[in-house]
Structure 1
Amino acid sequence: MEKHEEKLRKGERLCSRRLIDILFGAGGSHAMTAFPLKAVYRLVESNSVSSASEDDVDESKVQVLVSVPKKHFKRAVKRNRVKRQVREAYRKHKSFVMLRVNEYADKQLLIAFIWLSDELADSVTVEQRVSNLLQRIGERI
């Protein structure tokens, strides 16, 4: 993978309320866990997704959301650290799912990473877990 493809652009971030509702809405989503992370993902039609978002014209085939509940870390500094670790790990290993999703012409993959632990983890552990989850998602879609 080339260096310019390793960036995490705005279009790759799952921000739209409608897309988040599609991901977590009534059925169709799949979840898997690699402690301390849980990944919820759903493969959707690009037609319905593009009509759902008015703002972002240049959307990516894969969009990602990272959630660290306040219940686990009261301090925003710790929540932001964990989110930064997960985003960095995804940025490095996103090729696992990008190659698979590019095989589908009219599909888009929505992924949410949710932190489950009450403790911080080192970056190497987070990177291994994210890599593991992305490989498993790539095999199942």
Structure 2
Amino acid sequence: MSARADAIPPSSLGVPDVDVRGSDFTQAAGGFAAEHEDLAEDARWILDAIAALGDFAGTDETANTFRQGYATALQSTITYVDALRDIYPGIAERLAGMRTGFDVANWASIQSLPKVSDLPEFSAPDEKPNP
């Protein structure tokens, strides 16, 4: 690369700074794998904290309407959080696969480079006969 190209960091051009050797993919995969359980635990903690508030809506008709709407929204939230949690292992697996893909592509690139043949054999210079 030219000195000028080296002086411009890719991130300043809007290009993500990704380690094509794969370690960024491995770290991201590990993060998604860890978040798989953390997301479910955090969501459960929040929902339990709300449930611990008790019957905060009251008992009149408006409160009953609220309670029904809240129960529907709560069920939707649980469904969405569970779906998101369940997709995390697949994301982690795909990120790990991207590392493998980069490694394979890199090796394929190296293999496709022109081969350097053995050096030619040079013969000894012809000796001139003595006069």
Using structure 2 for the length normalisation, give the TM-score.
Answer: 0.22
User: Of the two, which has the highest radius of gyration?
Assistant: 2
Structure with greater strand share of residues: 1
Relative contact order higher in (CA < 8 Å, ≥ 6 apart): 2
Using structure 1 for the length normalisation, give the TM-score.
Answer: 0.21
Structure with greater helix share of residues: 2
